[in-house]
Structure formats: C-alpha cells, structure tokens
Amino acid sequence: VNLSDLAASGARPLAFTLSLALPGVDEAWLAGFSAGLFALADAHHCELVGGDTTRGPLCINIPAFGEVPAGRALLRSGARAGDALWVSGTLGDARLALDAIRGTLSLPQQVFDAARLRLEQPQPRVALGQALVGIATSAIDVSDGLLGDLGHVLRRSGVGATIDTRRAVGLLAADAMTLPPGLVRALVLAGGDDYELAFTAPADRHAEVQAAAASAGTPVTCIGHIDAEAGVRLLGADGLPLTQAFAGFDHFR
C-alpha cells in the first residue's frame, strides 16, 4: 500500500518501511532519493519504522501504513446507482509527459515541464480522502488509467457508469488542449500515473463534496454518474455515445 492507496481509503498515514537493493553505493543518488522520500513523508507526518538494505539490482519497496476509524474506510464496493462520479485534480498530464519523453508528440517547454512534474512527483490526495469519509460511497486512486481503475469499483459494487467526456477532457492541462480530441480522450481516460482520486457520492451531497474538496485544497470535477446497468458508457462532444475503445494499463500484458 502506498500513500495514494491510503488516500483512497480515507486513512491517516502513520508509518512506512523501506526495502532497498542497490548494485553499489552512489552517495549523490542516495542524497537526492532520501531528500525526496523524507520531504514527502514529513509532509504527511509519516515515520520510517524499519526495512532492509542489500546489494543487488536496483529495487525499491516502500509499503505505507495508516489508520481509519472502524467501519469508516472508503471502499471500492460502495458505489450505488444514482451516485455522482467525481475525480480530483487533473488527469492525463503524466501520460502526456511520458509520450513527450518517448518522442511520440512534441510539447512547448513550459507545458512539458509542468506535465513532467506530474509524472515524476505526483501528490497523494491524503487530505481529500480523509475529508470525504462519511460523504463518498466509494473511492480508488487512479494509477492505471481512469477507466481501468474505475472498472474495479464498478465490478466490486455491481454497477455501471456513464461518463461525459466533455467534462473529463477538460481535466487535461489547458495548454495541451490543442491536441487532437481523440488523443486527449485517450490521455485522460486511459493514460495512468495520475494518482488522483476517483470517487462516488450521492447526487444530493454535491455541496458537501465541494466543501470537503475546498477544505483539502484540492479541486474536484463531477464527470458522470453511476448506473444500475453494468459497463461504462462514454458520451462524446455531441452528447451521443462514443464507440472509441480505451484500455488502461495492464500489469500482466
């Protein structure tokens, strides 16, 4: 479990362990790694409580631990038909940076720098997750693409969803909106590595969701709703169903 997973459950981070295998001692690399690790840990009052170091191919494992009051955790199984579907922050920026690094598209330097920051230094939405406890009916962190991760919630909850892509594509960094619409949809819906939260809440608790987001200093956007019918339905710019298929990241493909 990482900090983003804790955020999706509404938990308060407590501690983490570090298991680190290194082919050799690189003091400059270790100094930068440690500075970044402890800056993030300190920001969330999360203590290093153990772990291990050894020689070998580079391998980093950092499990995090947290707590949430009994019976109050945000789960993947609580979404209900009629709930509104929300996401935090913006989606697609990390994949936008990755595609630029791979050379499959070109970006203005300022746009690339902002997107690369989202790819390399994602911010776990811990405060938002805690603020949503008692309001949201389900939540998940978006690491493998919105549609892929939302699919876990829909299966566990036994429901489906309708997503208005006109709202969803607006989540991509505004400077990148000159990209072809089909590419923008792919980045937002299936890009991955966003580490934002996708969550559901009763439709009549819209104001409470917005207040929770404001208290956490995190913007949120309602992009659709939960349906009784299984599957995901995507609405295009004209409000009509899209037939374009999207696939999130699959760890075993």
* pLDDT tens by residue, 46-76: 999 999 999 999 999 999 999 999 999 999 9
Structure tokens belonging to residue 241: 């169903």
**Among the listed ranges 19-28, 50-59, 63-72, 180-189, which one has the minimum average pLDDT value?**
180-189
pLDDT at 250: 54
Structure tokens belonging to residue 193: 């590595």
> Torsion over CA of 33, 16, 115 and 30, rounded to 10 degrees?
0
CA dist 251 and 15 (Å) reads 27
Taking 90 as the threshold, does the pLDDT of residue 247 lie above it?
A: no
CA dist 151 and 161 (Å) reads 9
Residue with tokens 């009784």: 228
CA dist 215 and 250 (Å) reads 34
pLDDT at 122: 92
DSSP string for 160-178: EEEEEHHHHGGGS-GGGTT
